[in-house]
Structure 1
Amino acid sequence: MAENSLPSLAETIRIFSLRADKSLGQHFLLDPGLLARIAAAAGRLDGVNVVEIGPGPGGLTRALLETGAAHVTAIEYDQRAVAAITALAATTSRLTIVEADAMKADLSALVAAPRAIVANLPYNIGTLLLVNWLQRAAQFQSMTLMFQLEVAERVCAAPNTSAYGRISVLAQWLCEVTMLMRIPAGAFAPPPKVESALIRLVPRASQPAPEELKLMERLTAAAFGQRRKMLRGALKPLGGEALCARAGIDASRRAETLSVEEFVTLMQTLKTRALDGGGGVIEES
């Protein structure tokens, strides 16, 4: 890549009037050293087709092109950023720009396997994007994602902590999850009001069947929907006390005390009941 011919990231922002748009959740990273560390944290990318969401002025894109990635596909919604990243694409055949809403993009149709996601996600849709990708986790080799710190801590949280919740269970059930680094607000332009963090999710070799995923989503939504309730009350629509008894779990416990493995046990109990003709709901005795 002929990087020497490219303007600096700050100059790129000036040329294309790419001031961060708060409505799009934009906060740009401009430090080449930090961007290189983020790209390296994604692990070995040789021969992998990388998807980046919201490249902005292209700082992380440049860093990803310096890895052994086979190709980088940058998905951008902001037309100003599309123009900026197009200048970068003119310097290499390994970069494709897709002007699209990442929430609606079918990444498996756009990018061939093996594929990985590496992205500084827009704050306003980061969690929604992750939930969408978790439902298709088997399609990705890895996901290395920047979130605001609070969201990253929820994804990585352990049981019996205030951050532990539905997204913790779903993410850790489907992936190996690692907190890689915290990024101070001052590293961004403009600085957000909160710190950020980079996490890496590596999908597990064995992924659940679609019906198991639906049951787990239903189960965790009920369990964490009213966190202060005991399981017998929170899970009442799914069987409450009877469901917990069949799963061997104390119904007086609260959702945040259950391990991911215990949630899997509850889900499998629901599944067994559904296969027996109970529709996934265990009647209270």
Structure 2
Amino acid sequence: MSVKAKKHLGQHFLKDENIAQKIANTLSFKGYNHVLEIGPGMGVLTKYLLEKDVTTHVIEIDTESVEYLKANYLNLASRIIEQDFLKYDLTQVFNDEPFAITGNFPYNISSQIVFKLLEMRGQIPEFSGMFQKEVAQRICSKEGSKVYGILSVLTQAFYDATYLFTVPPSVFNPPPKVDSGVLLLKRKENFTLPCDETLFFKVVKTSFQQRRKTLRNSLKTFNLSDNLKANVIFDKRPEQLSVLEFIELTSLIEND
């Protein structure tokens, strides 16, 4: 028995054992006792996680995959969460305990997975996994890059992001049309920002909605004082600002 990949779920099953093992080895397994795998499919990565000295949980929305996992990974059965990761309240499983996340993420929800990670950053010290290559690169990119954007800034405000390796389409069934990339996010020791964090998210998102414009133009809706708008930082476009500069910018707006 095997599971048929479903297009509407963005499923591309990894079939390369070496890569599965490499992904399992991206995490340090230190500072937490639980790992959550998103979208395990037929368990190619899961089996390597189960060898680790942590408790592995999986969350899977596809009923067929869940049945397969229950039949083939008996020791996992009680830790299969048959839910939509984006909608499910993970505190029902982990309470307030820390846990890591990994997976071969469905392409169609990969950015939303990162946004949920950021919402739960207080509980997730480590995160790794496979994305479309361009998404993985965007998350890890620095200011000045064409792909630097909202995901890059928000993620790197709280996590150190490392692009680890590229994975070709041929190791998946069905093969996707593009390369994939594996990354690692390790939460910063001090992941509390020295500014209003809600405002920070708003400033970053608003800035990049008009990424070709200067911040003076893109942040008009904030009704900033003329005095503040005279600051040279507002001459810049959002992709020119580092994460630290976005934090400084938020503080300036907060104190305007």
TM beyond 0.5: yes
Q: Deviations over 1:41-80 (max 9, x none)?
A: 12235862000111000111101012222x1111010000
- 1:61 equivalent in structure 2: 46
Which of the pair has more CA radius of gyration? Answer: 1
Q: Deviations over 1:221-248 (max 9, x none)?
A: 2211111111111111122864454xx5
Is 1:147 the counterpart of 2:138 in the alignment?
no
Distance 2:161 2:137 in 1: 11
Task: Select the residue among 106, 117, 134 that pairs with 1:122.
Answer: 106
TM-score, structure 1 length as denominator?
0.83
- Distance 1:43-1:240 versus aligned 2 partners, 3 A rule: farther
Distance 2:111 2:92 in 1: 22
Q: SS state of the match for residue 41, structure 1?
A: coil
Distance 2:63 2:185 in 1: 30
The answer on whether the counterparts of 1:178 and 1:200 sit within 8 Å (CA) in structure 2 is yes
Distance 1:114 1:94 in 2: 22
Task: Select the residue among 182, 201, 205 that pairs with 2:166.
Answer: 182
- 1:109 equivalent in structure 2: 92
- 1:133 equivalent in structure 2: 117
- Distance 1:72-1:193 versus aligned 2 partners, 3 A rule: same
Distance 1:130 1:253 in 2: 27
Question: Gaps (5+ residues) in structure 2?
Answer: none
- 1:218 equivalent in structure 2: 202
> Does 1 or 2 have the higher relative contact order (CA < 8 Å, sep 6+)?
2
- 1:272 equivalent in structure 2: 255
1:94 Cα shift? Answer: 8.6
Q: SS state of the match for residue 184, structure 2?
A: strand
Identity of aligned residues (%): 35
- 2:6 equivalent in structure 1: 21
- Distance 1:75-1:252 versus aligned 2 partners, 3 A rule: same
- Distance 1:233-1:28 versus aligned 2 partners, 3 A rule: same
Distance 2:228 2:181 in 1: 37
Report how many residues are paired.
Answer: 254
Amino acid at match of 2:19: L
The answer on whether the counterparts of 1:231 and 1:240 sit within 8 Å (CA) in structure 2 is no
Distance 2:139 2:221 in 1: 26
- Distance 1:236-1:255 versus aligned 2 partners, 3 A rule: same
TM-score, structure 2 length as denominator?
0.92
1:31 Cα shift? Answer: 1.7
1:145 Cα shift? Answer: 1.9
1:32 Cα shift? Answer: 1.6
Distance 2:90 2:195 in 1: 22
Distance 2:39 2:235 in 1: 44
- Distance 1:188-1:233 versus aligned 2 partners, 3 A rule: same
- Distance 1:224-1:240 versus aligned 2 partners, 3 A rule: farther
Question: Gaps (5+ residues) in structure 1?
Answer: 1-14, 274-285
- Distance 1:225-1:217 versus aligned 2 partners, 3 A rule: same
1:141 Cα shift? Answer: 2.1
1:209 Cα shift? Answer: 6.7
Q: Deviations over 1:246-274 (max 9, x none)?
A: xx54322111111111000011122234x
Task: Report the RMSD for the aligned CA atoms in angstroms.
Answer: 2.1
Amino acid at match of 1:96: R
